[in-house]
Amino acid sequence: MIKRLHVIAAATSFVTVLASWLSTVLAVLLGSHRQIADTRQAVVWGLFVLVPALGIAGLTGSAAAGGATDPRIIAKRHRMLFIAGVGLLILVPAALLLDGLASRGEFGTLFHTAQAVDSAAGAISLALMSLNVRDGRRLASTTSPPEDAPCTSP
């Protein structure tokens, strides 16, 4: 049950960051100021999905891993800590700042600088989350069969 919840929370986190990042990039490149402001507001609302999903993914991942020493699990832990730090220190404040600026129509240097930092941090988070997905899939494929599975060895 914990592993299933972990997969759901991790997938929700990844999709939420990806949707926020893509919609922001498309709005900035192709949209009007109104569309950019609407997108920035939607990103803030997305935080109400993202923050709990990341927390659940982190907690369930730690619970599922226990005291495991597999290098892939250790790497996933380190990446998750970095992702959480980037989220709390860069992505959340940037989302709030950019929403405030865009809602007031302030698309100057501060907006574009914050947008660049936000986009870079989002891309880095997506890359690290992708590595965690890769390692998680590899770990899941190498785990032993359940206890009630029939034994096939002689």
CATH number at residue 34: 1.20.120
Domain total in the chain: 1
Q: Distance between terminal CA atoms of the chain?
A: 31
Classify residue 132: in a domain, yes or no.
yes
Q: Work out the average pLDDT over 132-141.
A: 88
Give the least confident one: 38-42, 51-55, 62-66: 62-66
> Residues 65-79: pLDDT tens digits?
888 888 888 899 999
This prediction's pTM: 0.85
Classify residue 131: in a domain, yes or no.
yes
Averaged confidence pLDDT in the chain: 90
Q: In terms of C-beta density within 10 A (0-12 exposed, 13-18 middle, 19 or more buried), how is residue 118 classed?
A: buried
Classify residue 146: in a domain, yes or no.
no
pLDDT, position 131: 94
Binned at pLDDT 50, 70 and 90, residue 147 comes out as: very low
Q: In terms of C-beta density within 10 A (0-12 exposed, 13-18 middle, 19 or more buried), how is residue 151 classed?
A: exposed
> Residues 80-97: pLDDT tens digits?
999 999 999 999 999 999
pLDDT, position 144: 52
Q: Work out the average pLDDT over 34-62.
A: 95
Domain that holds residue 89: 2-141
Give the least confident one: 32-41, 77-86, 112-121: 77-86
